[in-house]
Structure formats: C-alpha cells, structure tokens
Structure 1
Amino acid sequence: MQQQSSYARATGKLYLVPTPIGNLEDITIRAKRILQEADYIAAEDTRTSGLLLAQIGVHNHMVAFHKYNSKAKAPELVKLMQDGAVIAEISDAGMPVISDPGYILVQECIKADVPVVPLPGASAFTTALIASGFDAQPFTYYGFLPRKAGEQKPFFEQMNEARATSIFYESPHRLVKTLNNMATVIATERQIVAARELTKIHEEFIRGTLGEVCRYFDQNDPRGEFVILIAPNTAAPVQKSWPELIKLVDEQVARGESKKSAIKAVAQANRVSKNELYEQYHHS
C-alpha cells in the first residue's frame, strides 16, 4: 500500500491541470495560478496549447508530451521534479489523462514518489452527460472507438446490453459511418444524444432515437467534435427458445460472421451459456 500527501514536502510535484473545452471563462482561478507559477507546462500539442495559454494570459515554458514521445519523455520530467521542479500537465482541451497519455507520467511519478496533484475542471463527456437527460449513474466512458467497423462492433454489442449510459467521442468526418455501423447492432428505437461544440457558440444537442439521429445527419453535415451518448438498456431480456437462438446465429453467419463469433454474440445478447448454445447449434 502506498500513501501520498500532495502537500507533505517542498520538493517538485506534478499538477494535472484541466483547460477549457471551448469557453475560455471555464478556466479556474487555481488552474491559471498553477499554470503561471509552474516551472514547466507539459502539453500534448505546444502550438495548440500555446494559443490557448496566450488567450488566458499565461506565458510559460512548455515541453511537448504526447503519445509519440511519452514513454521516453516521462523519465526526463520525473527527474526534473525530483530535482525540485513543478510541472503542470495539460491536455489539448479538458481534463489531462482522459484520452491522452498523461497516465504514463502519473505512473512514473507514483513509482518515483513524486506527489501528483489533480485539479478539478471541465471534461467534454461529463458536460454532455449531465445535459443528456439519461441516468448518470452508472455510466461507461469509452473514449475514442476504433475506426474500422469490424473493430467497433464488439463495443456496440457491449453498449447494446449495457444497463448504464454509454459514452464515446467521434470526429465529424467519421460520425455518419459510425452511427450507421451502430445501427447494425443497436436497435434504431434506442434513445441517443449527439452533443457537439460543447460550451462554444454553436453548442447543440441532437436528441432522439438512433434512427432519427442517423436520418438527421443524412440531411445535415456533421460539424465540430461530438460526444455520443446511448441510453441504458432498460428492457427486460426476452427468453428465446433454442430454435430461435439458432436462427439468430444462422442470420449472423449469413451476413458473413464466423460461427464462433456469431454464437458468442447471440449468447451474450440473450444471456445464455455460450457453450450450451454451441452444443445446441451443432446438434440441431
């Protein structure tokens, strides 16, 4: 077991500092002070962050810390903190560590007994969640999904059965394909929310069934970064007979799925034993 007191000693430390996701007024007084006083600011994209920091009146020395250099850079930053430096780590927007490599730096700090101090602040997925109208407890956040349809499908199968609100991010140029792929797994009557441009001038929430939202974006080009939220599955599971389940497996196989993956998917969706369905399928 390891205990940490962020204020127990006067050596260097790591501050995890959230930045605005759109509206610059969302920077906190404490966050701005830490960014001004830190010896270094570790940023994903120093150009993007440089513009943001200049807009909120912060001019400080930045170092690049992103997914391509994080494993090599983290030990260097930890050494600076062990020598007494204070480093503020920021994301391009919102909370550091959420969908960025900040966790690698946090892990290295914990190993080296360097204090890690998190600051509260803006995050796109929680901002969307509280305005979605869906139950916020529990929820599952997936970050960015894989780009290929086949790799997305297992995630949508999880979301389809989830008793929690499901949340993920998507870019505007991939949104329509992702929604259409979702509709091959999740019923088009399921309620979803597509939130875009949060805290900005063109903030918008598109609410409706999956089918309605798909049709909306067939007629309106997606613009801005999106947070997609899927309502929990509150329907009671329907108990199907073995012949009905076998028919569902055959339908997935006819669509190109392997028998193994089709049996697994049907078993999960209908909450039956995969092994038992396998036996029933191959002896039918």
Structure 2
Amino acid sequence: MQAQSSFNEKDKGRLYLVPTPIGNLEDITLRAKRILTEADYIAAEDTRTSGILLEKIGVHNKMISFHKYNSKERAPELIKLLKEGNTIAEISDAGMPVISDPGYILVQECIKNDIPVVALPGPSAFATALIASGFDAQPFTYYGFLPRKSSEQKEYFEMMNQARATSIFYEAPHRLQKTLKTLAEVIKPDRKIVLARELTKIHEEYLRGTISEINEYFTKNDPRGEFVVLVSPNDDEEKQLSWDELIKQVADRVEAGESKKDAIKLVAKANKVSKNELYDKYHQN
C-alpha cells in the first residue's frame, strides 16, 4: 500500500493536473489560473493551442511540449525537473488532463518516483454532455475515441448494445456519418442516442432521437464541430417464460412435425434454459 500527501512536502517538486476550458474561457477556475501562473513549467499537449489560451488569461510561463508522440521520451526529462524541486502543471488541449490525453504516463512515473500528484477539478466534455443528455448518469462507460475501422468499431458497439449503462464516445465531424451507419448495423434503430456538439461554445447543440432518426438527419445536414455521442442503456426486459409456456412451445413444434428431441433443443436454446431440465419437465407433464 502506498500513501501520498499532496500538500505537506515542501522540498519536492509537484505535478499539478490542471483542466482547461473546453470552449468557454469563463470556465477557467481561479485556482487553475493561480497554479498555471505559479508553476515553473507548463507541460502542454499542443503548445500552439495552449499558447493562445494562456495568452488570453495572462499566463506567460515556459511551456514544454508533451503529447502522445513524445510522451515516453519527454517523461524522464519532466521527472528530472520535478526531482530538482520544480512544479509542473500538465494541461490538455481542452478539458481534463489524462482523459484522452497522454498525461497518465507522467502520472505513473511520478507515482513510481514518489512525486506528489495534485488533480484540480474542472471541465470535461463527456461529463458535461452526460448530465444534460437525459440518460441515467450512473452507471456510465466512457470509451474516448473509437477505432476508425468499422470492423473494430463493431466490437465496441456490441458491448454498448448489451450495456445496462449509458455509453459515451467522441467522434470527429468528418467520420461521424460513417460511424453512425456502423452503429445502426449493430444496435436496434429505435435505440435512443444523444449527440452533443461544440459544448460551451456559441453553437452548442444537443441532438436527441433514435439511431434511425439521427442517421436520417445527417443525410440532409453536414456534421460540424466535435461530437460527444451518448447511447442510452439497454433497458429491454427479457421475459422469462414459465415452464408451462415452454412446454406448450415444444408441444406446438412437435405437432407441426418436429421431433421431440429437436423441439426441446430449439426451445431451450431460444429461451436460454437447460435442455435437460426442459426435457424432464416436458415428460413429466
């Protein structure tokens, strides 16, 4: 067991995970702005994107590029700076660090090296969309960005099809229509979904409907902006038939010409009951 206190070590560097606005700059917190101002270095996913934000909120600290293509090589450099007593604020392009972001690699290295990690609360696109979706917020499953190939996406959609939880993933506008068509191949067309786009921005919009309705909408309207897609939980109630009802199904099949053996096997399989138990019940009747 490893215990960590984030606030009582004075002579050691500290990693701060600082959320940034997902659109509206007013969502920056006072604490986030203070930490960004006071940090010795800011590790940014995209220094150009983050530079625009930091300039607007009046922060001019030294930025270090830290993204998925250089994270494994850059992490040791950042750990060295932290061990020297520097504080580093890690930020994503938008929203919470670590979520759909390589920040977890740096967090893991900090934990290995007994360096305190402090997470600040703040904006997150999937959480924002979830609470306004109208779907049950707990439980939920967040998938991030799905694979681009339809064959690989189908594996995720099969899980969503069975899930009793709200399922959430991100999609880019140029891939959205293809992804929705793949979704419709796996999940029933009357299943409800919500698409949230451009959250907290001027053109924020929620599209609510069935999979077929949303697919129809995008045959006439081009997707614009980044999308959060939410799939409603599977709330189909599987009715468990009584033994008398199952026996009647067997009898009906036998009367129609099937053998008793085949009828019992097929009815048992269709209703997910024991073939041997159904056999016994049928012959006891």
Normalising by the residue count of structure 1, what TM-score does the alignment of the two structures yield?
Answer: 0.84
Q: In structure 2, what is the equivalent of residue 106 of structure 1? A: 107
Q: What's the Cα RMSD here?
A: 1.7
Provide the C-alpha distance between the structure 1 equivalents of 2:55 and 2:32, rounded to a whole number of angstroms: 14
The 1:272–1:124 alpha-carbon spacing in structure 2 relative to 1, beyond 3 Å, is farther
Which residue number corresponds to residue 5 of structure 1? Answer: 5
SS at 2:186's partner residue? Answer: coil
Structure 1: gaps (5+ residues): 242-269, 277-284
AA aligned to 2:76 is: P
Matched residue type, 2:7: Y
Moved over 4 A (4+): 238-241, 270-273
Q: Which runs of 5+ in 2 are unaligned?
A: 247-269, 276-285
Counterpart-to-counterpart distance in 2, 1:272 and 1:227: 36
Spell out, residue by residue over 1:214-265, the C-alpha distance to the aligned partner (whole angstroms, 9 max, x if none).
1111111100000000000011236799xxxxxxxxxxxxxxxxxxxxxxxx
Once residues 46 and 272 of structure 1 are traced to their aligned partners in structure 2, the CA distance between those partners, rounded to angstroms, is 56
Paired letter, 2:144: G
**Higher mean displacement: 116-125 or 52-61:** 52-61
Deviations 1:145-164, CA, capped at 9 Å, x for gaps: 00000000000000001000
**Counterpart residue type for residue 110 of structure 2:** C
1:165 corresponding residue in structure 2: 166
CA distance in structure 2 between the partners assigned to 1:218 and 1:131 by the alignment: 25
2-side partners of 1:134 and 1:271: how far apart? 29
Aligned length: 246
- How far off its partner does 1:272 sit? 5.9
SS in 1 for 2:185: coil
For 2:156, what is the secondary structure of its paired residue?
helix
Identity %: 72
2:183 counterpart letter in structure 1: M
Write the letter of the residue equivalent to 2:119: P
Q: d(CA) in 1 for partners of 2:225 and 2:215? A: 16
CA distance in structure 1 between the partners assigned to 2:137 and 2:169 by the alignment: 14
Taking the aligned partners of 1:213 and 1:239, their CA distance within structure 2 comes to 33
The secondary structure found in structure 1 opposite 2:208 is strand
Shift of the 170–239 alpha-carbon distance from structure 1 to 2, 3 Å rule, reads farther
Closer, same or farther: CA 7–191 of 1 in aligned 2, 3 Å: same
CA displacement, residues 89-119 of structure 1 (integer Å, 9 cap, x when unaligned): 0000000000000000000000000000000
Aligned counterparts, 1:140-151, within 5 A: 140-151=141-152
**1:123-165 deviations in whole A, cap 9, x for unaligned?**
0000000000000000000000000000000000000010000
Q: Which amino acid aligns with 2:108?
A: Q
Alpha-carbon deviation of 1:8?
1.8
| Cα offset, 1:55, TM superposition | 1.3
Question: Which runs of structure 2 are paired with 1:1-284 in the superposition (5 Å)?
Answer: 1-10=1-10, 11-237=12-238
User: d(CA) in 2 for partners of 1:16 and 1:116?
Assistant: 7
| Secondary structure of 1:183's aligned partner | helix
